[in-house]
A and B are shown apart, each in its own frame.
Chain A
Amino acid sequence: MMFQGKIWKLGDDIDTDLIIPARFLNVSEASELARNCLADLRPEFASSVRSGDVIVAGGNFGCGSSREHAPLAIKASGVSLIIARSFARIFYRNAFNIGLPLLESREASEELAEDDEVRVDLAAGSIERIADSRRFASSPVPDFMAEIIKAGGLVPYTIERIRKGEAV
C-alpha cells in the first residue's frame, strides 16, 4: 500500500482527550467525530486537513482512554496513516483493528516537519520526503497486524476466521 500526503506535525503524549475531547463523545458516527478531531490542540485541523495527509508525532501517541472514537475521528478526517516515535498500546490495537495503519519511526518523528510532503510504502515500511528524496526507516509492522490490515480490519478478518471454522 502506498500513501502520499502533507504532514501535520504533533508533539509527545498526544492523548485521546486531545484527539477527540469527551464532550464530543455523545455521538459515534465517524464523520461527526472527524468534525471535532484535534479540536483543542489544532482547531484549524478539521477544516483544512486533506485526504491522504499524514500525522507525524512524538512518543506515546494516543495515550489515555480506550475510545476508538480517536482513531475513527482521525481516519474519517482523511488522514491516511500516522507515523510516531511510539504509540500507546490501546490506540495501536484500535487503529489496526479499524484499518488505519501506523508506523513507528524515531528518525521520521524527529526529522519530518509540518507541511513536508512524504511518500510511504507501508509494506516496505519506507518513508520518503518528496522535497529531498530523503528516506527514513521504520520498524516493520508485525505479520499478524499486516494480515489484519490486508483483510481490511479486524471485522473482515474475524468473519473469515468464523467462515473457516477457526472461531467457535
Chain B
Amino acid sequence: MPMTITEKILAEHAARETVSPGDLIQVKVDMALANDITAPIAIKVFNEIGRETVFDRDAVALVADHFVPNKDIASAQQVKFVREFARLHNITHYYEGGDVGIEHVILPEKGLVLPGQVVIGADSHTCTYGALGAFSTGVGSTDLGVIMATGEIWLKVPPTIRVNIEGTPSPLVGGKDLILHLIGMIGVEGARYATLEFGGETVRRMPMYQRFTMANMAIEAGGKNGIFEPDDSTRAFVDEHSVAGAVYHRSDSDARYERVITIDATSLEPQVAFPHSPANVRNLSECGDVTLDQVFIGSCTNGSLDDLRDAASVLKGKRAARGLRLIVIPGSPKIYREAVREGIAETLLDANAVIGPPCCGPCLGGHMGILAAGERALATTNRNFVGRMGHPESEVYLSNPSVAAASAVLGKIGGPGEL
C-alpha cells in the first residue's frame, strides 16, 4: 500500500506493515523532550506511575530554557525539581546554565534527533524536527510522563496535506515568509490534526535553517507535524551533526493526500503577521505605518546562526532607531560563540542591540523584554496571541529576521529596501 513519509515512520515504530489515517496506534518513541515549564508536571506523572527508572536514560532530553537564567524564586524551584530528577535518573541529556539553548535549536545541533525517528516533546514546537524528515509532535506533560515510564505513546495517524512550493522567490523571502503565507491562506485551524508535508522545487533548494523555521510553525496552522522528505541537504546536516542512525524515508509517488496545496513563490513579498493571530498575514508593502517600541530577533523559529547572519547583514553599519529596544537572542551557546567569532555580535552591539543569553526570553512573555500596555513589538517568533509577550494590551507582529532588522533601524515596520 502506498504511504507518505509520516505513515512510513509511524508504521515502522508501531511494528506494522502499513498504517492509514485515523488508525489509533501504540508507537515506540526514540527521543522524549520536556522543558522547565512542562517537565515538572511530567515528572510528577512519572513518579505517580511508580516505575523505578526512565525507559532509556539516553532517550530523554530535559532542557531548562524557558525561564532561565531563573527569573524568580518560583522558576528556580521548578528548575531545581527537574535538575534533581535528572541527577537521580542519570539523564544523559539534561541541559541548563552554560550548556543550555532553546530546546528545538540544541537537539538538532547536538545530533539528538535524526531522520526517520519518532520524537515526542512536551512543547508544541516539537514539530520543528520534521525539517530533518523525522515524525515529531508536541504533547502535554501527562503524555510525556507516560513516555518516560514506558517509552511508548498512543497516536492517531494523521491525514497528510501536501504543500508544493514552486518558483524562485526574491532573496528577501525565505522559510518564514512561506510558512506565514501558508498559515494566512489556510488559517490557524487549516491543518488541525493533519500533517503538513512540504515539497516542490523551492523546498528542494531551501537551506536547512529555513526548513526548521517552516516545520516549527506547522502547529500554528493546527498541524500535528510538519515534515520534509530528506535530501542531500538533510544528509549533509546529519553528517555534520550526528553519528549513525538516520533512516531516510520518502513518500511514495502514489501516496494518498487529503489535500494538495500549490504555492507559487515567484512574486511573493516578505510577510508580516498582524496582531493577534499568525494567520492575520499581510504583504510587507501593505503594512502601512506601524511604529515599534521593540524588535526581538531569536526564538526556536528564527534563532539560528544563519538567521543572525541575515539580521546582521542588514544592520551592518546602522543603528536601531532612537527609543526602540532591539533584543537579539542566539538560539544556542554554539551559535552565540560563532556569532562572536564571525563579528556578528559586534555588528549587533554597534547597532545598539541587547544580546541575551540563549533561552526563550521574551518569546512567551517570560522575561528579558516584556511589553507594557499599548507597546508594539515586531518579533521573529511564531505566535502573536493576546498578551504573548507581556501586557494583554500590547501588540506583537511577526516577520523574518531581515525585515525585523530593517524595522529596528526604521523604527517602524519596513524592509531592507527602505534603508
Interface residues, chain A, with chain B CB atoms under 8 Å away: 13, 15, 17-18, 21-23, 25-28, 40-41, 59-60, 63-69, 71-72, 86, 88-90, 93-94, 97-98, 142, 144, 153-155, 158-159, 161-162, 167-168
Contact = CB atoms under 8 A, between A and B. Distances in A.
A44 to B, nearest CB: 15
Interface in B146-164: 146, 149-152, 154
B38 A88 contact: no
B156 to A, nearest CB: 8
B143 A93 contact: yes
Nearest to B50: A159
A162 B150 contact: yes
Contacts of A89: 192-193, 222, 224
Given A17-B385, A17-B387, A155-B142, A26 B67 contact: yes
A26 B140 contact: no
B145 A18 contact: no
B150 A167 contact: yes
30 contacts: A13-B277, A15-B386, A22-B366, A25-B67, A26-B75, A28-B78, A41-B386, A63-B222, A64-B124, A65-B364, A65-B383, A66-B38, A66-B140, A69-B41, A71-B140, A72-B41, A88-B192, A89-B193, A90-B124, A90-B138, A93-B139, A94-B142, A97-B143, A98-B142, A155-B145, A158-B49, A158-B146, A158-B150, A159-B50, A167-B149
B48 interface: yes
B188 interface: yes
Nearest to A95: B140
B154 A86 contact: no
Contacts of A144: 24, 154
B388 interface: yes
Contact of A17 (B71, B146, B224, B386): B386
Contact of A25 (B37, B51, B224): B37
B150 A93 contact: no
Nearest to B392: A40
A154 to B, nearest CB: 5
Closest 10 CB pairs of A and B: A94-B140, A68-B140, A26-B74, A97-B142, A66-B124, A40-B392, A66-B138, A22-B364, A167-B150, A68-B141
A94 B41 CA distance: 12
B240 to A, nearest CB: 29
B72 interface: yes
Contacts of A40: 386-387, 392
Interface in B351-397: 364-366, 383, 385-388, 392
Contacts of B50: 159
A86 B140 CA distance: 18
Interface of B: 24, 37-38, 40-41, 44-45, 48-51, 55, 66-67, 71-72, 74-75, 78, 121-124, 126, 138-143, 145-146, 149-152, 154, 188-189, 192-193, 222, 224, 277, 364-366, 383, 385-388, 392
B192 A60 contact: yes
Contacts of A60: 188-189, 192, 222
A66 B123 contact: yes
Given A90-B139, A94-B143, 7 more contacts: A18-B385, A25-B66, A28-B40, A28-B78, A94-B142, A144-B154, A155-B145
Given A17-B388, A89-B224, A68 B38 contact: yes
A153 B122 CA distance: 17
A8 B55 CA distance: 42
B364 A155 contact: no
B53 to A, nearest CB: 12
B192 A93 contact: no
Contacts of B188: 13, 60, 63
A66 B385 contact: no
Contact of A153 (B55, B142, B364): B142
A126 to B, nearest CB: 24
A28 to B, nearest CB: 5
Contact of A21 (B66, B145, B387): B387
A26 B67 CA distance: 8
A22 B49 contact: no
A151 B265 CA distance: 50
Nearest to B39: A28
Contact of B78 (A13, A17, A26, A66): A26
A64 B173 CA distance: 25
Contacts of A71: 140
